[in-house]
Amino acid sequence: MNKKSFLVTVSGTALFLSAALPVYAIPVPEFGSCLNPQWSKTQENTLKDPNGARHGVIGVGSYLGTDTIYSSNGNVMQCLCSVDGNGYQTNWLKAANLSQDQIDELKTKGWKYVPYGQDWGLHDSAYLAKNIEYTCAACTPTPTPSVEVTPTVTPTPTVTTTPGPTATPTPAPKVGGASATNTLATTGNSLVIYLALLAGLASLVIGMVIKKFSK
Partner 1 sequence: MKLLSWFFILQALSLITVGLYQLYLREAPARLAFNDYKYEKSVLTESGKIPERVTIKDLDIDVPIYTAKVVDNKWPTTENGASYLITSPLPGTDGNSVMYAHNWKSLFGNLVNAKTGQEVQVVYPDKSVKTFVISYTSEVSPEESTILAPSTDKRITLYTCSGFLDSKRFVAVALLKS
Contact region with partner 1 (CB under 8 A), list: 19-27, 58-66, 159-167, 201-209: 201-209
Cα-only R_g, the chain: 25
Vertex 167: Cα angle to 165 and 170 (nearest 5): 105
DSSP string, 180-204: S---PPP---HHHHHHHHHHHHHHH
* Nearer Cβ to partner 1 (23/195): 195
Residue 59 makes contact with partner 1 by CB under 8 A:
no
Side chain identity at 77, as an amino acid letter?
Answer: M
Mask for 122-141, x = binds partner 1 (CB under 8 A) = ----------xxxxxxx---
Residue 87 makes contact with partner 1 by CB under 8 A:
yes
Residue 210 makes contact with partner 1 by CB under 8 A:
yes
Question: Could you tell me which of 31, 66, 42, 43 has the C-alpha nearest to residue 137?
Answer: 66
Closest separation between CB of residue 208 and partner 1, Å? 7
Residue 213 makes contact with partner 1 by CB under 8 A:
yes
From residue 106, alpha-carbon distances to 18, 97, 113, 163, 170 in Å are 17, 13, 9, 21, 31
Binding site for partner 1 (CB under 8 A): 1, 9, 13, 30, 32-36, 38, 85, 87, 132-138, 172-190, 192-197, 199-204, 206-208, 210-211, 213-214
